[in-house]
């Protein structure tokens, strides 16, 4: 497979570079891919996340997705830097797993192996040795492949937070702990909110002359963020701030292909945001061609992702929110985040 060049060298991936094809009209209201968390009542979430019924539901998801998307829901494009290759693997109806390869040694790690057959196929095609699984959190659509892959690769280690019930966890990680796989160095960052033990993983790009790479799981999507199932708006805001502290050039590799839905929602909040309009047009063309929309960069995300713009007066005004006299700025931002989340949930439900 050929590789995309790094961000900054890839004109075709810049926001707004595609635009709408002639004669094509963008219609925000669209049929969305099924989301296992859509029936989002507390009882449903408890069943999905904490019982065998959730695992059986996940298995049904995998079976149906394999039938509907025999080659994956999107056309992914590998990214290569000197010494490292990142291969997105489209799984289920909208998830991404990622195979990250030290091309010098042939050692590899996978992030969130949803479908073990799809991940194993990528491992065999690339001819690499799976050394590590990094799980962002316990939900089956991110951890369901752990068991089968560990049986296939007996020396593979499974990393994640001990606070989440991650299947086959062998190496619990603490916040800011680093793990090496060949010449690859990953740093785990505790980012609770979506689950109590949610972690993201940052690949150090410096040895390869690349930007850092953030594998964000369900913390952060292109133009969106995950629901705080096991945390408060304040908890989620603090976790988003941790991610944003990584730097604007950081490449964002999210856990789901939610770009169109998230950008469409964001466009309802900020009608005069030119960066948002351009990115939406670009994403429409990408998805019409069934192409992946990842990665973006954290610098881009700050221009159109409403969950990262809680400090922006234009978004606050669009929501009809104003900071109270003596109100702590972060408390106000958490209130803004809560309102954005509420509106997003209503948008998804319609």
d(CA 27, CA 198): 34
Is position 71 annotated as part of the catalytic site? Answer: no
Q: At what angle do helices 329-349 and 259-269 cross, to 10 degrees?
A: 120
| Residue 102 bears catalytic tag | no
* Given the residues 112, 141, 164, 198, the one annotated as active site: 141
Decide: 260 and 287 in contact? Cβ < 8 Å.
yes
Q: Are 54 and 85 in contact (CB under 8 A)?
A: no
Question: Nearest 5°: phi and psi at 24?
Answer: -100, 130
Active-site residue, 194 included:
yes
> How crowded is the C-beta side of 109, counted as CA atoms within 13 Å?
23
Please indicate whether residue 4 is annotated as part of the active site: no
Q: Is 153 noted as a catalytic residue in this protein?
A: no
174 to 31, 59, 198, 221, 331: CA distances (angstroms): 40, 30, 11, 23, 27
Catalytic-role residue among 73, 112, 115, 137: 137
* Active-site entry in 73, 102, 115, 142: 142
The CA-atom distances, in angstroms, between 316 and each of 63, 319, 334, 337 are 43, 5, 11, 10
218 is catalytic: yes
From the number of C-beta atoms within 10 Å of its C-beta (0-12, 13-18, 19+), residue 232 rates as: middle
- Out of 73, 112, 115, 194, the active site residue is 194
Q: Cβ–Cβ contacts within 10 Å for residue 259, how many?
A: 25
Active site residue 139: yes
Catalytic residue among 73, 112, 115, 139: 139
Query: Could you say which of 256, 311, 328, 345 is catalytic?
Result: 256
> Which residues does 51 contact at the CB level (< 8 Å), separation at least 6?
none
Q: Bridge partners of 203?
A: 186, 213
Give the torsion through C-alpha atoms of 225, 226, 228, 232, to 10 deg: -20
Active site residues: 137, 139, 141-142, 194, 218, 256
């Amino acid at each position: 497979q050929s590789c995309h060049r790094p961000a900054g060298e890839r004109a075709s991936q810049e926001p707004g570079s595609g635009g709408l094809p002639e004669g094509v009209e963008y219609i925000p209201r669209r049929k969305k891919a099924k989301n296992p968390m859509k029936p989002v009542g507390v009882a449903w979430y408890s069943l999905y996340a904490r019982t065998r019924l959730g695992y059986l539901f996940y298995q049904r998801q995998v079976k149906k997705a394999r039938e509907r998307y025999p080659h994956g829901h999107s056309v992914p494009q590998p990214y290569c830097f000197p010494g490292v290759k990142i291969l997105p693997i489209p799984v289920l109806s909208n998830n991404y797993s990622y195979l990250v390869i030290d091309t010098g040694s042939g050692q590899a790690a996978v992030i969130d192996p949803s479908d073990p057959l799809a991940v194993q196929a990528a491992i065999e095609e690339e001819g690499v040795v799976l050394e590590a699984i990094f799980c962002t959190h316990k939900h089956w659509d991110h951890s369901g492949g752990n068991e089968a892959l560990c049986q296939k690769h007996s020396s593979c280690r499974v990393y994640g937070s001990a606070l989440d019930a991650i299947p086959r966890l062998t190496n619990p990680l603490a916040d800011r702990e680093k793990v090496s796989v060949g010449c690859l160095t990953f740093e785990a960052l505790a980012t609770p909110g979506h689950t109590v033990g949610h972690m993201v993983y940052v690949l150090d790009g410096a040895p390869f002359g690349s930007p850092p790479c953030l594998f964000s799981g369900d913390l952060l999507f292109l133009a969106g963020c995950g629901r705080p199932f096991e945390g408060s708006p304040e908890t989620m805001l603090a976790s988003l701030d941790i991610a944003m502290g990584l730097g604007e050039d950081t490449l964002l590799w999210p856990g789901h292909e939610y770009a169109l839905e998230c950008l469409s929602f964001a466009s309802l909040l900020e009608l005069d945001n030119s960066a948002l309009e351009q990115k939406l047009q670009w994403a429409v063309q990408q998805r019409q061609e069934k192409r992946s929309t990842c990665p973006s960069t954290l610098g881009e995300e700050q221009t159109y992702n409403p969950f990262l713009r809680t400090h922006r007066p234009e978004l606050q005004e669009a929501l009809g929110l104003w900071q109270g006299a003596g109100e702590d700025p972060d408390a106000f931002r958490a209130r803004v985040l809560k309102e954005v989340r509420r509106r997003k949930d209503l948008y998804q439900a319609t």
